[in-house]
Amino acid sequence: MTAPIPAADPMPDAAQAIWLGHVSQIEQALTHLDEAVASGDTQAVLDGAHALQRALTQGVQVARQTVGLALPSQLLHRLSWAQQRVSAHQTAVMRGRVATERALSVLLVREGAADGTYQSQLPGLGGRIASTYR
């Protein structure tokens, strides 16, 4: 039998306030990233992604300081929602990458093809892109 997991200590109000501030920063960074993606502004997307990374890094630092303290359900819900939003962004990026790879695979035909189009001997997407500049 495994030992029961000990109950976490309740989180003091000061720690809750710090957590709320960091969760708010994460949510705000996600909102800015959502707006940047919707606008199509590449620089704004990069800036939003960097801001989100900073907010998440600071959140991890706070989490390390409050290990063993029970998070209130409100914070758990907000963190869960932020995690879902980050996952949605990751899914969108993956879909974009796959679509780009498919388009490039159609455009970059195998070397020795009848139409004389080049394809790199380097593996993967990077090799195909490099071969276009021969």
Separation of alpha carbons 95 and 43, rounded Å: 20
Cα first-last separation, the chain: 65
The pTM for the full model equals: 0.62
What DSSP letter does each residue of the chain carry, written as one string?
A: -PPPPPPPEEPPHHHHHHHHHHHHHHHHHHHHHHHHHHHT-HHHHHHHHHHHHHHHHHHHHHHHHTTTEEPPHHHHHHHHHHHHHHHHHHHHHHHHHHHHHHHHHHHSPPTT-TT-----SSSHHHHHHHHTT-
Q: How do residues 55-109 score in pLDDT, each as one tens digit? A: 988 888 888 877 777 778 888 888 889 889 989 888 988 898 898 888 888 887 6
Q: Are 23 and 31 in contact (CB under 8 A)?
A: no
Write down the pLDDT at residue 101: 87
Write down the pLDDT at residue 51: 93
Mean pLDDT of 6-26: 78
Q: What percent of the chain has pLDDT over 70?
A: 74
- pLDDT of residue 27 exceeding 70, the answer is yes
Average pLDDT, the chain: 78
- pLDDT of residue 32 exceeding 90, the answer is yes
